[in-house]
């Protein structure tokens, strides 16, 4: 589960509200703040207790909550209804606290949490689906079959025999989770909510890989056995896990495979083909961008950005002797140059990851030039697990646990190293790692403020920051030569093209093939990588638009601060706005302006 899915999920959104012991003391805040913080604590306790996977992700599955480490989330229709009811109750309770009784920080906290909760219930409340951005229960990047094995391997820590027993309990619960997903997908299919045919084919392929290994050699059994052995924990953990897999997990997976094979097939890629599809997409776009832009407005913004960035790339490519064809075609030619490719071998993949680590180390040394006390939290870089690489994103970031037992992880999809010419990798590392997601999230993780300010999630803010961070890296001299800078501009071109493709698919009725062709021709990514991107947009509507819209907002906020402060503008002070936590874009620009005027 990556940062988007974890932080945007109902359980984790609640978990991100606050935490007992981290609230402001009632004695030094207005009475309304104390009541608001107490309510946040109540909401947190109710929701984290009902979200075992969130408890583990946050490192809170210990002490009074130790029993949660042996459980998985409730994925049933009843569980979804309970989540919705709790969210509505939380909205009503928070709304009842009058803003006039709150401090400035309290008002901001109330505003941000209400915005988050209200937008978060749109899918289940208005359309009776999981969410507007992820409307399908089972698809190539969604469902227990996809998330649970990875969760058990990378989030469930193994330090003692109790942890091993808890792993086995969760493995047994995996069968129930699969059946719950199947029941909900069956009901939603009857209402017309089924992923496109190509997404179902990808899903079946990944399920077949998960199912294809003998129980004793499955990744799920191996993960437990290998880590238990490394920790010196005696026990026949592989055999015990294999029995559960054979007796419980595989039968449930077989039932789900049969269900997916029998689901109605449709070729249409976009949400427009679903019941209420146009309305769902409008709400998905609103949730993803935290704006009221229409699909047409986003589409035209993308076209404009593509033209501007392509013109900048044209100059660099011509200087490299690449003068023929479109910018996308010339980038494709650059991708194929032998000096840009790692060997498609285990050694080549290891070399690639080693290079990423070197890039993180080098950029860390530059951060003090643009940040006050930048965080130095550890970051692990891993390849996406092979079982899910066919449908997984090309790169994503996973939060560290709060107790420090598990570091943050930056995953890169190495199914085909040809997807990653060397000149494109620095910008990816700056986006996912330093000074991107890792710097932003490690900064807020270190604040002694309520969790709602530390871990509230808005995709346009976080993804916009990560794209802006690629630009900060450029300003810090992070791109060693013009070719690497072309990779950075290609990253911007990629995000601009997303605005065009996402709205094209869901509002203008583009086919998957039409959108892929546009990507290959415009961005210059290899077709397999372009196809994976497009297939993600087809099943996770609007999310791809958050990056460039967010980036534009960060730049607009910075330009406004420069206009207000003139010679007094300090980039380090500008970046201190990260310590206010994630907010919708309109609030971000307001906060930056307030900070700038206060510094006059």
Show the tokens assigned to 1. Answer: 């589960």
Show the tokens assigned to 274. Answer: 């679903």
Contact 593, 390 (CB under 8 A): no
DSSP conformation class of 26: G
The span from the CA of 433 to the CA of 431, in Å, is: 6
Q: What is the pLDDT of residue 3?
A: 41
Contact 283, 289 (CB under 8 A): no
| 561-579 core/surface letters (b: 16 or more CB in 10 A; e: else) | beebbeeebeeeebbebbe
Residue 79 burial (CB < 10 Å; 0-12/13-18/19+)? Answer: middle
| String of DSSP letters for 469-517 | HHHHHHHTT---SHHHHHHHHHHHHHHHHHHHHHHHHHTS---HHHHHH
Residue 117 burial (CB < 10 Å; 0-12/13-18/19+)? Answer: buried
396: nearest Cα among 95, 4, 70: 4
- Across the chain, what does the average pLDDT equal? 92
Sheet with 379-383, side-by-side order of all strands: 379-383, 408-412, 395-398
Do you find a cis peptide bond into 291, omega within 30 degrees of 0?
A: no
**Helical axes 31-48 vs 77-95, angle rounded to 10°:** 180
Q: What is the pLDDT of residue 16?
A: 39
| 3-class DSSP assignment, residue 397 | strand
Question: How confident is residue 298, by pLDDT bands cut at 50, 70 and 90?
Answer: very high
The span from the CA of 496 to the CA of 486, in Å, is: 15
The span from the CA of 121 to the CA of 411, in Å, is: 29
Q: What is the pLDDT of residue 440?
A: 95
Q: Specify the higher pLDDT residue, 209 or 6.
A: 209
157: nearest Cα among 407, 374, 383: 407
Please check the confidence at residue 6 and state whether its pLDDT lies above 80: no
Question: How confident is residue 500, by pLDDT bands cut at 50, 70 and 90?
Answer: very high
Mean pLDDT within 407-428: 93
Question: How confident is residue 455, by pLDDT bands cut at 50, 70 and 90?
Answer: low
Mean pLDDT within 311-333: 95
Q: What is the pLDDT of residue 388?
A: 80
- Report the run of H or E that residue 600 belongs to, with start and end: none
Show the tokens assigned to 457. Answer: 């999630």
524: nearest Cα among 392, 426, 428, 424: 424
Q: What is the pLDDT of residue 22?
A: 37
What does each C-alpha distance from 190 to 264, 270, 274, 327, 540 come to in angstroms?
A: 9, 18, 12, 45, 20
Mean pLDDT within 30-44: 87
Please identify which residue in the block is written with the tokens 């029941």: 183
How many helices (H) and strands (E) would you count in the chain? Answer: 27, 3
Radius of gyration of the chain, Cα coordinates, nearest whole angstrom: 23
Please identify which residue in the block is written with the tokens 């449908």: 391
Mean pLDDT within 99-128: 94
The span from the CA of 449 to the CA of 209, in Å, is: 44
DSSP conformation class of 446: T
Please identify which residue in the block is written with the tokens 């589409």: 299
Taking the mean position of all CA atoms in its chain, how far away is CA 375? 21
pTM: 0.88
The span from the CA of 528 to the CA of 532, in Å, is: 6
Residue 397: phi, psi to the nearest 5?
Answer: -120, 140
The span from the CA of 35 to the CA of 29, in Å, is: 10
Mean pLDDT within 283-309: 96
Please check the confidence at residue 518 and state whether its pLDDT lies above 70: yes
Mean pLDDT within 65-82: 97
Q: What is the pLDDT of residue 30?
A: 64
Pairing between β-strand 408-412 and β-strand 395-398 as defined by DSSP bridges: antiparallel
The span from the CA of 132 to the CA of 77, in Å, is: 17
Please check the confidence at residue 525 and state whether its pLDDT lies above 90: no
Contact 449, 394 (CB under 8 A): no
Contact 420, 412 (CB under 8 A): yes
542: nearest Cα among 266, 188, 277: 277
How many other β-carbons are positioned within 10 Å of the β-carbon of residue 126? 13
The span from the CA of 451 to the CA of 402, in Å, is: 11
pLDDT digits (tens, 9 = 90+) for 133-178: 999 999 999 999 999 999 999 899 999 999 999 999 999 999 999 9
Please identify which residue in the block is written with the tokens 């890296």: 473
Please check the confidence at residue 569 and state whether its pLDDT lies above 50: yes
Please check the confidence at residue 539 and state whether its pLDDT lies above 60: yes
């Amino acid at each position: 589960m990556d940062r988007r899915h974890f932080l945007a999920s109902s359980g984790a959104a609640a978990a991100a509200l606050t935490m007992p012991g981290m609230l402001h003391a009632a004695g030094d805040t207005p009475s309304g703040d104390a009541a608001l913080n107490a309510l946040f604590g109540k909401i947190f306790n109710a929701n984290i207790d009902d979200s075992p996977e969130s408890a583990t992700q946050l490192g809170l599955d210990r002490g009074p909550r130790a029993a949660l480490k042996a459980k998985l989330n409730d994925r049933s229709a009843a569980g979804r209804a309970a989540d919705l009811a709790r969210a509505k109750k939380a909205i009503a309770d928070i709304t009842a606290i009058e803003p006039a009784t709150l401090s400035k920080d309290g008002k901001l906290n109330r505003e941000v949490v209400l915005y988050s909760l209200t937008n978060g219930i749109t899918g289940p409340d208005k359309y009776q689906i999981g969410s507007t951005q992820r409307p399908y229960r089972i698809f190539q990047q969604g469902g227990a079959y996809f998330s649970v094995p990875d969760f058990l391997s990378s989030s469930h820590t193994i330090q003692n025999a109790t942890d091993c027993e808890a792993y086995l309990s969760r493995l047994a619960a995996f069968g129930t989770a699969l059946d719950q997903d199947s029941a909900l997908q069956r009901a939603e299919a009857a209402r017309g909510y089924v992923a496109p045919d190509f997404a179902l084919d990808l899903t079946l392929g990944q399920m077949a890989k998960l199912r294809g290994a003998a129980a004793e050699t499955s990744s799920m059994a191996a993960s437990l056995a290998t880590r238990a052995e490394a920790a010196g924990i005696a026990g026949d953990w592989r055999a015990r896990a294999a029995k559960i897999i054979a007796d419980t997990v595989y039968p449930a997976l077989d039932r789900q495979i049969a269900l997916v094979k029998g689901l109605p097939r449709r070729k249409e890629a976009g949400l427009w083909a679903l019941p209420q599809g146009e309305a769902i997409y409008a709400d998905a776009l609103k949730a993803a961008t935290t704006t009221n832009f229409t699909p047409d407005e986003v589409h035209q913004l993308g076209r404009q950005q593509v033209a501007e960035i392509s013109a900048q790339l044209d100059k660099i490519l011509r200087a490299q002797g690449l003068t023929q064809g479109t910018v996308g075609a010339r980038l494709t030619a650059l991708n194929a140059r032998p000096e840009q490719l790692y060997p498609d071998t285990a050694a080549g993949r290891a070399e690639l990851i080693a290079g990423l680590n070197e890039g993180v180390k080098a950029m860390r040394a530059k951060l003090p030039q643009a940040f006050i006390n930048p965080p130095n939290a550890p970051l692990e870089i891993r390849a996406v697990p092979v079982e899910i690489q066919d449908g997984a994103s090309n790169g994503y970031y996973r939060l560290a646990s709060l107790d420090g037992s598990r570091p943050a992880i930056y995953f890169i999809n190495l199914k085909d190293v040809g997807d990653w010419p060397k000149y494109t990798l620095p910008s990816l590392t700056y986006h996912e790692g330093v000074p991107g997601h890792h710097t932003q999230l490690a900064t807020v993780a270190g604040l002694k403020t309520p969790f709602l300010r530390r871990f509230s999630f808005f995709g346009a803010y976080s993804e916009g920051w990560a794209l802006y961070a690629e630009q900060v890296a450029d300003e810090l001299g992070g791109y060693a030569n013009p070719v690497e800078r072309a990779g950075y501009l290609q990253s911007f071109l990629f995000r601009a093209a997303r605005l065009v493709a996402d709205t094209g698919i869901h509002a203008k009725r583009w086919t998957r093939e039409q959108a892929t062709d546009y990507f290959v021709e415009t961005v210059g990514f290899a077709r397999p990588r372009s196809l994976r991107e497009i297939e993600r947009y087809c099943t996770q509507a609007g999310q791809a638009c958050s990056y460039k819209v967010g980036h534009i907002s960060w730049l607009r906020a910075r330009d406004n601060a420069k206009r207000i402060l003139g010679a007094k503008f300090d980039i380090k002070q500008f970046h201190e706005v990260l310590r206010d936590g994630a907010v919708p874009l309109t609030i971000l620009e307001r906060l930056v302006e307030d900070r700038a005027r206060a510094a006059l």
